[in-house]
Amino acid sequence: MEYYRRNLLVLWMATFLAAASYQQVIPFLSLFLSELGVTDSLTLWANIVFASHYASAIFFQPFWGRIADRVGRKPMMIRAGICLGLIYMLMSFATQAWHVALCRLLNGALTGFIPSATSLCATNTPKQYAARYVASLQTANAAGTIIGPAMGGVMAELFGFRGALKASGFTVLGCTLLVLLFVSEKNRVSIRRRSSMWQDALQTVRSPLLFTVMLTVAFTAFGTSAVQPILALYLNNMGQGGPKWLSGVVFSLPGVAFVLTAALWTRLGEKRGFGKLIPFGLIWAGVFSTALSFAPNALWFALLYFLMGAFIAILRPSASALIALKVAGDQQGMAYGMQQSAFMLGGLLGPLFVAAVGFTGQRWVFAWVGLGLLAGAYLLKRWISRWDKLEPETLRQVAVTQD
């Protein structure tokens, strides 16, 4: 078997298991804090814990990317996997809320397992197969994201939160061992950076198109990360202490919605224009987020949360399609890099926003997030009007597999 085919098999499995392990942990952090004895300031600590990962990742992920360009993607993948596995294990021994926050901060600063896997696959696969192989890894990531929360819920029910964290740590370390033994990196591409991050940021702000793309991605992360810190707590209160697996299943619904609807939204964007589709997605995501505050039971909450996820699924594929269509080829690497930073920034601002409005009560947090998404729709519609008239007919050429 050719080395790049073996790489795909191993990286697919490693990506799936790493994504599932990550999502096994995320839905239950707020309940874990409650188990540690956090009561009066639970909402505040939950948002701090969720935001910590994004705060450090914004600054450290570009740094590790530059190191990978020099020493190779496989060493960075092994480094990230070891760090991630040990962080999960360390978190299982936490006794204070700040212990969990510190582990999450280290998680954002020291990891990057899945991006490293994608980069390694892209740079060590023949060009005629590269896009297909990278798309396959994205499928593995999406599948792990969907199944992870349900697996985590079952494990938390059976072994408790600490047991689930240990299991996630062992799983990631196992994935790292697979990479060490069976993945080959024969092509270590050295990429010469032609601009600084500060110059990239200035170019992004000055370009109406790029700034629109960055705002779109930031609101994508905002809409998903803002409600995550309190989701398990809210469902637990709604169900009067229902089973832990319920939170995991509901937590995975936006991922299911993305898999089911992303291709449909992309085809619609090809016909109608992605500039028109983005505000549409934000409006309806805002409407369904607001409706979550009025859900009478967990079943209605799950349905509305799924619909919210279906409309948020419009945003990131549309942003990626706009970069592919409208950004010059020699600038696309910079654009996609800034897109990732914008996503992390939105993920950071979401929990901080919820912490600021948390005094109104958990129930109304969803309405506040909905208002934020509606405000984003208005802002982006105004911004898109600066360039939407110039949108070319080549929008029809976007491939469904762009994102």
Average pLDDT over residues 24-44: 82
CATH number at residue 166: 1.20.1250.20
The reply to whether 165 and 217 lie within a common domain is no
> What is the pLDDT, as a whole number, of residue 335?
65
91-100, 163-172, 187-196, 357-366, range with the lowest pLDDT: 187-196
pLDDT tens profile 68-83 = 767 878 998 999 999 9
> What is the pLDDT, as a whole number, of residue 170?
93
Q: Per the domain annotation, does 224 fall within a domain?
A: yes
Average pLDDT over residues 2-8: 90
The reply to whether 214 and 139 lie within a common domain is no
The reply to whether 177 and 218 lie within a common domain is no
Q: How far is 349 from 337, CA to CA, in rounded Å?
A: 19
**Interacting residues of 300 by C-beta distance below 8 A, sequence separation 6+:** none
Structure token pair of residue 362: 């958990």
Q: How far is 403 from 35, CA to CA, in rounded Å?
A: 38
The reply to whether 170 and 268 lie within a common domain is no
The reply to whether 210 and 289 lie within a common domain is yes
Angle subtended at Cα 343 by Cα 342 and Cα 346, rounded to the nearest 5 degrees:
85
Q: Per the domain annotation, does 367 fall within a domain?
A: yes
Q: Per the domain annotation, does 227 fall within a domain?
A: yes
Number of structural domains (the chain) is 2
Q: Of 128, 149, 182, at which residue does a domain stop?
A: 182
The reply to whether 394 and 253 lie within a common domain is yes
Q: Per the domain annotation, does 372 fall within a domain?
A: yes
**pLDDT at 403 exceeding the cut of 60:** no
> What is the pLDDT, as a whole number, of residue 195?
56
Structure token pair of residue 238: 């709604």
The reply to whether 362 and 233 lie within a common domain is yes
Helices 315-326, 274-292: axis angle to 10 degrees equals 160
pTM of the predicted model as reported, rounded to 2 decimal places: 0.68
DSSP codes, 326-341: HS-GGGHHHHHHHHHH
Q: How far is 88 from 24, CA to CA, in rounded Å?
A: 11
**Domain containing 359: what range?**
203-403
CA–chain centroid gap for 70, Å, is 26
The reply to whether 249 and 354 lie within a common domain is yes
Q: Per the domain annotation, does 207 fall within a domain?
A: yes
Average pLDDT over residues 319-326: 69
Task: Name the percent of the chain lying above pLDDT 90.
Answer: 25
Q: Per the domain annotation, does 335 fall within a domain?
A: yes
Q: Per the domain annotation, does 215 fall within a domain?
A: yes
The reply to whether 175 and 244 lie within a common domain is no
The reply to whether 381 and 338 lie within a common domain is yes
Average pLDDT over residues 42-51: 82
The reply to whether 327 and 365 lie within a common domain is yes
Q: Per the domain annotation, does 193 fall within a domain?
A: no
**Interacting residues of 63 by C-beta distance below 8 A, sequence separation 6+:** none
Angle subtended at Cα 325 by Cα 319 and Cα 327, rounded to the nearest 5 degrees:
85
The reply to whether 214 and 161 lie within a common domain is no
Average pLDDT, the chain: 80
CB 124 within 8 Å of CB 4: yes
> What is the pLDDT, as a whole number, of residue 126?
81
